[in-house]
């Protein structure tokens, strides 16, 4: 069996193509029930829930996994590092699938930072110089950093999140006002981004370079056309000791050249 950690749309698509191309059973792991619904596909078994290294090793052993493909989100560095260690410990091949970044344009209001803490601090500073309105497109996983950032306490901070019960409960626990929650599933078009940024009168947009599939290009263009600040959180860098691919076609080539006969 082949295991695909599929934390993204392109990861789920890859899992389906892996199953069809290889003809083997595929195990897909996701975090949420909603993710499990999206991952359903003939020939695919879905595991739902978070996994630490020990649980990953158990999953590999219990399901006779012979290949682990990590297609988790580009910013899920801990998942990638943990999965790589589990594959090493269980002596199976590890492949990292990661969508390509969007090249960042030249724009005098574009700011690249290393993490969410720095992003929150800079967004607050920039917003205070303008109209104290910030638009977050960074999702819910690191929302606690922005919700608790002192520099943002007197700002109007809009946050776009996936409106599942779990996420909305978390937002309530963080005392985020429903007034500033935009509950929608992306990715979003250029027009939708522009309307949202303009309607909220945001002076700062905070985003990740999550690639074309994540809609990074449309966020960038919409914000630039409105002349507002963009704070881009750079991708975390994880050393990968093994093949790295960024497309289904690259997987097909790798499969034929290296992985097909691995047992």
> Does 213 share its domain with 244?
no
Do residues 201 and 131 lie in contact, with contact meaning Cβ atoms separated by under 8 Å? yes
Q: How many helices (H) and strands (E) does the chain have?
A: 10, 12
CA 85 to chain centre: 20
Are residues 253 and 159 part of one domain?
no
Q: What is the mean pLDDT of residues 86-95?
A: 96
CATH code of the domain covering residue 82: 3.40.50.720
- Domain carrying residue 85: 2-100+237-259
Report if residue 105 sits inside a domain.
no
pLDDT, residue 150, reads 96
Same domain flag for 156 and 251? no
Give residue 260's pLDDT. Answer: 66
Does the pLDDT at position 159 exceed 70?
A: yes
Query: For residues 71 and 10, is the Cβ–Cβ distance under 8 A?
Result: yes
The answer to whether residue 126 scores a pLDDT higher than 70 is yes
Q: For residue 262, is pLDDT > 60?
A: no
Residues 215 and 192: their CA atoms lie apart, in Å, by 11
Q: How many domains does the chain have?
A: 2
Q: What is the pTM of this model?
A: 0.88
148 belongs to a structural domain: yes
Q: What is the CATH number of the domain that holds 163?
A: 3.40.50.620
pLDDT attached to residue 261: 53
Question: What are the strands, taking DSSP E only, across the chain?
Answer: 2-6, 26-30, 44-48, 67-71, 94-97, 110-113, 133-136, 156-161, 181-183, 204-208, 229-233, 244-245
Structural domain includes residue 245: yes
The pLDDT value recorded for residue 29 is 93
């Amino acid at each position: 069996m082949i295991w695909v950690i599929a934390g993204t749309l392109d990861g789920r698509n890859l899992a389906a193509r892996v199953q069809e191309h290889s003809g083997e059973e595929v195990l897909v792991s996701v975090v949420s029930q909603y993710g499990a619904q999206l991952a359903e596909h003939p020939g695919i078994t879905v595991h739902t829930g978070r996994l630490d290294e020990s649980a990953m090793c158990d999953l590999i052993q219990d399901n006779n996994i012979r290949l682990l493909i990590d297609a988790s989100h580009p910013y899920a560095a801990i998942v990638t590092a943990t999965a790589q260690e589990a594959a090493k410990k269980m002596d199976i091949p590890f492949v990292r699938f990661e969508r390509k970044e969007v090249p960042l344009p030249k724009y005098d209001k574009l700011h690249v930072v290393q993490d969410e803490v720095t992003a929150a601090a800079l967004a607050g500073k920039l917003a205070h110089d303008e109209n104290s309105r910030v638009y977050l497109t960074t999702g819910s996983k690191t929302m606690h950093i922005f919700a608790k950032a002192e520099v943002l306490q007197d700002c109007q901070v809009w946050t776009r999140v996936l409106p599942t019960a779990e996420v909305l409960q978390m937002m309530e626990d963080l005392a985020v006002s429903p007034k500033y929650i935009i509950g929608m599933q992306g990715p979003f078009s250029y027009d939708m981004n522009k309307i949202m940024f303009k309607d909220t009168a945001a002076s700062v947009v905070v985003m990740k370079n999550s690639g074309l599939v994540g809609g990074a290009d449309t966020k960038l263009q919409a914000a630039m056309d409105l002349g507002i600040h963009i704070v881009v959180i750079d991708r975390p860098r994880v050393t990968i000791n093994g093949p790295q691919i960024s497309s289904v076609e690259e997987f097909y080539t790798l499969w034929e050249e290296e992985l097909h006969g691995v047992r």
